[in-house]
Amino acid sequence: MKLVQKGFTLIELMIVVAIIGILAAIAIPAYQDYITRGQVSEAVTLAGGLKTPLAEYGADKAGWPSKLVGPNATPGVGEINSTLVGKYSTVNDTVTGQYPAGVITAKMTNGKAAAAGKETLTYTTDDGGSTWACGNTLVGTAQGAGTTIEVKYLPNACKP
């Protein structure tokens, strides 16, 4: 009587392990890039949230506010409230440039090494806030030239 062997052979198991290793070698770097893009999107959201209030302030006062203060602070003369600090990024508390041109700058402060602490994102306008250029996009004559985040980490709206 012949015994029927059940189960996988050693070579079959080795092939499965090799396939899993190859997939992991491809997936882990892609996942790291995805995480970094998610963290950069926080900076885009924080800075992007300032576009409308700044455009309204500029249209009303023909200038930029002297300072952006946190949401729990009471704004003084020439100041407006805004959310300036997130988990992975911080927005500068001033708008640089002479009205109607202006730049909002966000800096990555935490998170993945590819973006943390050394990378900035800018929103730029040259028409008092009617249009804003995010990252390296071009709107009118404004360009987010101060953006140092690698293009692969920027959201599609901010890519050239």
Strand positions, DSSP E, 72-144: 79-81, 89-91, 102-108, 120-125, 133-134, 138-139, 142-143
DSSP string, 38-71: HHHHHHHHHHHTTHHHHHHHHHHHSS--SEEE-T
Q: According to the 3-state scheme, what is the secondary structure of 136-147?
A: CCEECCEECCCC
Residue 114: C-alpha distances to residues 46, 111, 153 (Å)? 19, 8, 9
Question: In the prediction, which pLDDT does 155 show?
Answer: 84
Query: Along the chain (160 residues), what's the average pLDDT of each consecutive run of 10 residues?
Result: 78 94 92 88 88 90 89 85 86 87 88 67 87 70 65 81
- The domains located in the chain, with CATH, are 10-158 (3.30.700.10)
Question: In the prediction, which pLDDT does 96 show?
Answer: 86
Return d(Cα 103, Cα 58) in angstroms, integer: 13
Question: In the prediction, which pLDDT does 19 show?
Answer: 96
Question: In the prediction, which pLDDT does 114 show?
Answer: 58
Would you give the distance in Å from CA 64 to the centre of its chain?
A: 23
